[in-house]
Structure 1
Amino acid sequence: MGILFTAFTLNQQESSIHVMFWQSVLSSAPHSPGVYLMLDAKNCVLYVGKAKDLFKRLSSYARFSGSPHSKTGVMLQKTHKVDTILTTTEKEALILEASLIKKHKPKYNIILRDDKSYPYIKVTVQEEWPRVFMTRRKTKDDARYFGPYSSSANMWATLHLISRLFPLRNCKGSQLKKRKRPCLNRQIGKCLAPCTGNTDKEKYLQHVENILMLLEGRNNELLENLKKEMGEAAKNLEYEKAAKLRDQIFAVTRTTEKQVISASHSKDQDVFGFARKDAAITIALLYIRNGLINGSRTFFLADPYGEDRAILSQVLSQLYDRFSQIPGEILLPFAPSDMELHEEHLNEDRGSRVYLKIPRRGDGHKLIEMANTNARQVFADQEKKKNSWENLSDALCKTLHLDRPPARIECLDISNTSGKQAIGSLVCFRAGEPDKGNFRHYKIRTIDTPDDYTMMKEVLQRRLSRGVEEDNLPDLFVVDGGKGQLNVAVSVAGELGVEDRINWIGIAKEREDEGEKLYKPGRKNPIILPGHNPVLLYLMRIRDESHRYGVTFHRKLRNRATLASELDQIPGIGSNKKRQLLRHMGSLKRIKNAQVDELQEVQGIGPELASAVFDYFHKII
């Protein structure tokens, strides 16, 4: 084929195998666009890439002559198979590549994780009686979406403002269900109750228009309309209406004052910042809507594979799809790979023109610099966290007399109700922060009586046995309890032969006036620290997180058990009908107190079934 295969020179045999492997791959690789997947010996996807010409792209791997210890070298050594998928165009390859990366999450691809699912505000303008609510998923409908909001607190504050100023219905379902009497929201002034048939449609739709103006940032236009309406109400001696409009004007004005103008225009823009420090990369994204900074996101990539242009290209592919809110302009610090291809793809998804720009001067360049500063700040924050954790780790070692730095700390909490619905909740902290990917719930299998020691023993045996198999035992295990619980934990570790591989600490609050006490194996007296001591505060934080994690899950189990013991006993009520009842009525208590006509309003509940539900609960009462 005229290709020089000089990938690895570790020894002649390995080099020969490598040459034969890539000869086999290239023998079936066509000169056409498509996607390739590199797989390891277990058929796990290592990397997904796209190419305008698959043969040429794969040939570059065959000719790789860099260090075998580089990221590319290590990946190629692990590659045992290469699959290819042909596409008609390069744009189809771009779309397919993004889809496969999301599906397989390959080790060597860029995976944008910031541990957050950013919320949107959705206005269902396509419905006869529109609603406004929070959603975390965009669907292909004609609704209006606003966001994403990087601060959920700001998003909820906006929704609360909307519900107070321009109340709409918040009942679920696109179709309005007729009711003889309105719900509680009408009584507290948070709904115009269109379900009763007595609502002024024009007034309702005006509320919707006001909400859209507020969310679109057209606050000046909204204020002018409200002031005009207030003047007319005062002129017509409608003082109560004028007072409500005055309050609305005041609230909108206060909201406007909190917003920061970022540009001298009213465009929608996404602005990308990019920073590199050694092998790590951070990316910052500023959302600008109608000339106002709407929010921001940052991504930290510890050791990404590929050049900067290729990394930025993958970021664009992952961030934008047909369900994304794509702005008219995207400002970039430099040109990504396949820039024209991305622009074409974004135009198609948005349904109108999208401009990818690399500003060199003016307001656009200032915005890029602002985004770059945000990206660099991530490194500064990382450094602060690292230094803070190193200081805390040293304090933990010194105060608790640990034989190793506690890089991984775990804590166990047992929750049960008289032995029923018993679970163990394990939380994990790494380098001072929660590692939620390693949080676990354990359902107690061996007993159903209230015996915390036996339950703890079961969970610890399961956790530590798995830890030995997977070689991921914690450096420090925090036991929620005093000497008794600590002795149980240490005995389990001794049975498994890992007692000396883990440091153990028990934390117990014995009396209110004494506060927290720390117990160590082999030590008679507890370690008592001042209430403000950073070591104690950190251990309490871990213990409290295990409580929260356990109580939240245990509450779900109790609720399921409560529902199963009541609704499931009614003939004709299956899982779907039970779900419909709860969604419509909101709680079991409201189902119990509902009249037959109210129960009939639930989808799928007819007269006979409504009577059966009513009779069942009233017989019990």
Structure 2
Amino acid sequence: MPDPATYRPATGSIPEQPGVYKFRDPSGRVIYVGKAISLRQRLNSYFADPANLHPRTQTMVFTAGSVEWTTVSTEVEALQLEYAWIKEFDPRFNVKYRDDKSYPYLAVTMGEEFPRVQVMRGAKRKGTRYFGPYAHAWAIRETVDLLLRVFPVRTCSAGVFKRAGQIGRPCLLGYIDKCSAPCVGKISEEDHRALAEEFCDFMGGSTQRYVKRLEREMRHASNDLEFERAARLRDDIQALTRAMEKNAVVLPDDTDADVFALAEDDLEAAVQVFHVRGGRVRGQRGWVVEKVEEVDTAGLVEHLLQQVYGDTTADAVPREVLVPTEPPFAHEVEQWLGGLRGSKVQVRVPQRGDKRALMETVARNATQALALHKVKRAGDLTTRSKALQEIQEALDLPEAPLRIECYDVSHVQGTNIVASMVVFEDGLARKSEYRRFTIKGQDGSDDVAAMREVITRRFRRYLSENADAPVDLTPEAESEEPGVPAAIDPETGRPRKFAYAPQLVVVDGGAPQVAAAAAAMAELGIVDVALCGLAKRLEEVWLPDDDQPVILPRTSEGLYLLQRVRDEAHRFAITHHRQRRSTQMTASVLDEVPGLGPARKKALLAAFGSVKKLKAADAETIAAVQGVGPKVALAVVRALHPEEQPAAQPAIDMATGELLD
């Protein structure tokens, strides 16, 4: 790891002017970009006592191998150059805002000869006007469907448009008056472009102007006794009204603003923004960012505005940007945004009134987004590490249990007894390592004996796959395959299914289940794997040979992780049990077929996969299965299709015509 003292520049060589600096790693890759009013003051702070640096800043300084800088004339130029370099080099230690999903926009391709209205995602294109973003694409289509009554702009693709022009016949929308059909010359290029401009004006907030115009035309048509046209205009007004109602009115009609809010912790921050145009919320977006550099809320806001507006068009920059905290270079940010928009832009924190209330709404959305993100990730790295550390301390383990296996037994009144093994590594589920067991020859009411069998089979297989010679593996887990006793399969190069031992085994149950598992492990000589049980009733943690359980606090991250592991094992066991029970119930119809024993039934199910597929086969196909002859195949067909068998006919004496007994 590089020593910062080896590449620290001389203090006198660093200028005091504003500028932008880059840290590079020993291979020359840019790992951090920053700006400063005084380069000398800022850079000297990185080479002070490392113990006083923030941990993430300390990591960056010790990862870097060199530092360089570029001076600029003003802070605004520094802001622009910093954004350009972050975009160009994508440094690993810079905060980078990324959408948590791809949002759809309502786009109007004004750069085309005949503008088209469509749903668009991804990077914005030059010459296209965007409205949104929307939460769902279907919301855009509903809005467009309503507005096409009044603004019948083209919505078809280039291929459909060209083909309609070649055959001289418009598509269905052209016939139902939801497209002005420029493809066949029903409207000129100039008039169609004017129609698209009106569509954009309405979506941009100029709603009342078009509603009032249609109302005037409706009254004139009514006065001229043109009642059909008046009725059509009335329906158009209703369509515009419904489209307007889809956007909530929150602020005065002349309000043009983006409202940002953040929710953050030590590791991550969630951002939400509401786009308000014409006093209505026209769109909403969200980001989640990892705080890979030392940064406060004001710094997050500055980075956010850089990356949101850095590549946008002038019409996407609003007159007002409402933020929870002013960025450090608020005046310079306003100048930069004003240059992008071409007119003055104000960046401020709302203090009271409707704008403050809207800011609080956006903040609640950000808080919920951060909580949802945490749930989706099953806890961040710090939380998982804390949970494993709490388990280590509570169970007095020599190290944190990075691999945890949990076992559960499932059955219904002693039938279809199965067990599950789930694996969590580093606090996260490792589903490729899950295993299922079928328990045979056990009393279904004895969960303890079933648990002992499962633990015995699992660790017997572990010893086999890591031994120098094969051992007897019977009975084996249902999902196991016979093979050479080695931890790594020589054919695939992958570990055997039971090659790795866990640091901790968790069983679903209390002291009896723990004692059974401990006895099984002791018989096999497994002494380096910790064991505990989690009882459902009071969520108590039981250890072998302990008369009293370990009680973890309800708010403990360690207890929460153990609960998740136990619940996952229970879910996996229940799923397996239901599958076996369903298969058994379905296959029971074959038990009554004469001449069809267990071996032939197993062969049929293996050949066809299910009774449903077997039922669709004819007698000849069934007879082709090895061990099943024509006679048995015919019996199977008759058993699976009883409704198709002819009813027994009464015997008749041909001489007298009377029924015979």
TM-score under structure 1 length normalisation: 0.59
The amino acid across from 1:151 in the alignment is: H
Name which one, 1 or 2, has greater alpha-carbon Rg. Answer: 2
TM-fit CA distance, 1:400:
2.9
- Check 1:388–1:528 CA distance in 2 against 1; reply closer, same or farther (3 A cut): farther
The amino acid across from 1:402 in the alignment is: V
Partner of residue 498 from structure 1, selected from 484, 491, 495: 495
Partner of residue 336 from structure 2, selected from 324, 334, 345: 345
Which residue of the partner structure matches residue 404 of structure 1?
A: 424
Which residue of the partner structure matches residue 550 of structure 2?
A: none
Partner of residue 5 from structure 2, selected from 4, 19, 27: 19
Which residue of the partner structure matches residue 130 of structure 2?
A: 145
TM-fit CA distance, 1:376:
2.0
Once residues 263 and 86 of structure 1 are traced to their aligned partners in structure 2, the CA distance between those partners, rounded to angstroms, is 43
Which residue of the partner structure matches residue 321 of structure 1?
A: 310
- Check 1:317–1:239 CA distance in 2 against 1; reply closer, same or farther (3 A cut): same
- Check 1:204–1:139 CA distance in 2 against 1; reply closer, same or farther (3 A cut): closer
Which residue of the partner structure matches residue 528 of structure 1?
A: 577
Q: Is the contact between residue 397 and residue 403 of structure 1 (CA under 8 Å) also seen in structure 2?
A: no
Which residue of the partner structure matches residue 599 of structure 1?
A: none
Which residue of the partner structure matches residue 40 of structure 2?
A: 55
List aligned pairs for 1:80-95, cutoff 5 A: 80-95=65-80
Q: Does 1:253 align with 2:241?
A: yes
- Check 1:266–1:304 CA distance in 2 against 1; reply closer, same or farther (3 A cut): farther
TM-fit CA distance, 1:108:
1.6
Report the secondary structure of 1:528's partner residue.
helix
Q: Does 1:299 align with 2:252?
A: no
**When the two structures are aligned, how many residues end up with a matched partner?**
425
- Stretch of structure 1 that moved more, 147-156 or 349-358: 147-156
Q: Is the contact between residue 423 and residue 429 of structure 2 (CA under 8 Å) also seen in structure 1?
A: no
TM-fit CA distance, 1:313:
0.9
TM-fit CA distance, 1:46:
1.9
- Check 1:173–1:402 CA distance in 2 against 1; reply closer, same or farther (3 A cut): closer
List aligned pairs for 1:609-620, cutoff 5 A: none
- Check 1:182–1:299 CA distance in 2 against 1; reply closer, same or farther (3 A cut): same
Which residue of the partner structure matches residue 287 of structure 1?
A: 275
Once residues 374 and 256 of structure 2 are traced to their aligned partners in structure 1, the CA distance between those partners, rounded to angstroms, is 33
Q: Is the contact between residue 131 and residue 168 of structure 1 (CA under 8 Å) also seen in structure 2?
A: yes
TM-fit CA distance, 1:498:
1.6
The amino acid across from 1:527 in the alignment is: H
TM-fit CA distance, 1:183:
3.6
TM-fit CA distance, 1:166:
2.5
Partner of residue 182 from structure 1, selected from 166, 169, 181: 169
Consecutive unaligned residues in structure 1, runs of 5 or more: 1-13, 413-482, 504-519, 521-525, 534-621
Report the secondary structure of 1:300's partner residue.
strand
Q: Is the contact between residue 147 and residue 243 of structure 2 (CA under 8 Å) also seen in structure 1?
A: no
Once residues 293 and 371 of structure 1 are traced to their aligned partners in structure 2, the CA distance between those partners, rounded to angstroms, is 11
- Check 1:233–1:297 CA distance in 2 against 1; reply closer, same or farther (3 A cut): same
- Stretch of structure 1 that moved more, 494-503 or 285-294: 494-503
Once residues 200 and 150 of structure 2 are traced to their aligned partners in structure 1, the CA distance between those partners, rounded to angstroms, is 13
TM-fit CA distance, 1:289:
1.2
Q: Is the contact between residue 31 and residue 92 of structure 2 (CA under 8 Å) also seen in structure 1?
A: yes
Which residue of the partner structure matches residue 323 of structure 2?
A: 332
Once residues 86 and 113 of structure 2 are traced to their aligned partners in structure 1, the CA distance between those partners, rounded to angstroms, is 39
Once residues 532 and 66 of structure 1 are traced to their aligned partners in structure 2, the CA distance between those partners, rounded to angstroms, is 62
List aligned pairs for 1:398-547, cutoff 5 A: 398=408, 400-404=420-424, 407=428, 409=430, 494-495=489-490, 496-499=493-496, 500=498, 527-529=576-578
C-alpha RMSD of the superposition: 4.2
Q: Is the contact between residue 259 and residue 292 of structure 1 (CA under 8 Å) also seen in structure 2?
A: yes
Q: Is the contact between residue 140 and residue 323 of structure 1 (CA under 8 Å) also seen in structure 2?
A: no
Q: Is the contact between residue 38 and residue 79 of structure 1 (CA under 8 Å) also seen in structure 2?
A: yes
The amino acid across from 1:379 in the alignment is: L
Partner of residue 269 from structure 1, selected from 257, 260, 266: 257
Q: Is the contact between residue 322 and residue 349 of structure 1 (CA under 8 Å) also seen in structure 2?
A: no
TM-fit CA distance, 1:209:
4.9
Report the secondary structure of 2:576's partner residue.
coil
The amino acid across from 2:168 in the alignment is: R
TM-fit CA distance, 1:44:
3.0
Which residue of the partner structure matches residue 144 of structure 2?
A: 159
Which residue of the partner structure matches residue 518 of structure 2?
A: none
Once residues 388 and 409 of structure 1 are traced to their aligned partners in structure 2, the CA distance between those partners, rounded to angstroms, is 15
Consecutive unaligned residues in structure 2, runs of 5 or more: 385-402, 409-418, 434-477, 502-568, 570-574, 583-661
Once residues 68 and 332 of structure 1 are traced to their aligned partners in structure 2, the CA distance between those partners, rounded to angstroms, is 28
TM-fit CA distance, 1:318:
0.7
Report the secondary structure of 1:316's partner residue.
helix
Once residues 532 and 169 of structure 1 are traced to their aligned partners in structure 2, the CA distance between those partners, rounded to angstroms, is 57
TM-score under structure 2 length normalisation: 0.56
Q: Does 1:311 align with 2:308?
A: no
Once residues 285 and 216 of structure 2 are traced to their aligned partners in structure 1, the CA distance between those partners, rounded to angstroms, is 39
Once residues 349 and 249 of structure 1 are traced to their aligned partners in structure 2, the CA distance between those partners, rounded to angstroms, is 36
